[in-house]
Chains A and B, each alone.
Chain A
Amino acid sequence: MNRFWKWIAGIFGVLLVAAFAMLSYMAGSPKDVYGMVRYALPHMHRGTLKVGSDAPDARIVALDGVSRFHIRERTHERPLVLVFGSFT
């Protein structure tokens, strides 16, 4: 039994190292794995919207920093291509 658990622990350890190595490779470096887990994963959500869902509204700030408008104000006569992103 003792030997069995050693094998399980060994296999688990190998899988953990392999997963970390794979993530490091995919993310770029071990530091990026930390960044991904610490900062990216908590903010990544698949969301519940589907094709056919009512598009949610949200108030958006204009580039002047003062004016506001709503996304739904822009969805009337033509389709609206909505692109989300940031600088970095």
Chain B
Amino acid sequence: MGDVVQIYEDYKDHADFLTVYVREAHPTDEWQMKSNVKDDVCYAQPKTLEQRVAIANDFTKRFKFPLPFGIDDMSNAANDAYAAWPERIYIIDESGRIAYRGGMGPFNYKPEEAREWLAARYGAVKHEAPKSSTKAVPASTSGAAAPATPAPAASAPVPAAK
């Protein structure tokens, strides 16, 4: 999601953004990945809208996610209309037509393509290149940690339905 947040920061003055939370990709009761456990991202597949809303709120708070956010309802209407699962990006132009259709994640989920579309229209936003690696001290010897995974929000993995 970091790439998307950076794109948002770079182009929010030119384009609107909306993140739509769809059904979970790797919930605990379906196909959970080891990385989910490692990152303490353990949720069962929501069975109610309240559960979906709770997970979505957990996500936005935990990552201080800045993009405007919405939730697909339990009919999965947005997911079905956009073939969105597990992750996908579209750009809709001012006339209401699809201007960019991203590939299906995870393998073809490429935020950089959306960035290219925005850059072609509004100009590229350049970022400073990372400092020379020759001066970098490996994290393992410097004691610096990798970018921190946010602290576990709670030990109970499934937000309770209201």
Chain A interface (Cβ within 8 Å of chain B)?
28, 32, 35-36, 38-40, 43-65, 69, 71-72, 74-88
Please state if B20 and A83 are interface contacts (CB–CB under 8 Å). yes
Q: Which residues of A contact B53 (CB under 8 A)?
A: 61, 63-65
Chain B interface (Cβ within 8 Å of chain A)?
1, 4, 7-8, 11, 14-27, 30-34, 36, 41-43, 49-50, 52-53, 55-60, 67, 69-73, 77-79, 81-94, 96-101, 104-105, 114, 118, 121
Please state if B55 and A83 are interface contacts (CB–CB under 8 Å). no
The docked-state distance in angstroms from the alpha carbon of A81 to that of B107 is 19
Q: Which of A54, A60, A61 contacts B97 (CB 8 A)?
A: A54
Q: Which of A53, A60, A72 contacts B98 (CB 8 A)?
A: A53
Q: Which residues of A contact B89 (CB under 8 A)?
A: 81-84
Please state if B41 and A88 are interface contacts (CB–CB under 8 Å). yes
A79 to chain B: closest residue by CB: B15
10 chain-A/chain-B pairs, Cβ below 8 angstroms = A35-B31, A39-B30, A40-B25, A43-B85, A55-B90, A55-B98, A79-B94, A84-B89, A85-B1, A87-B58
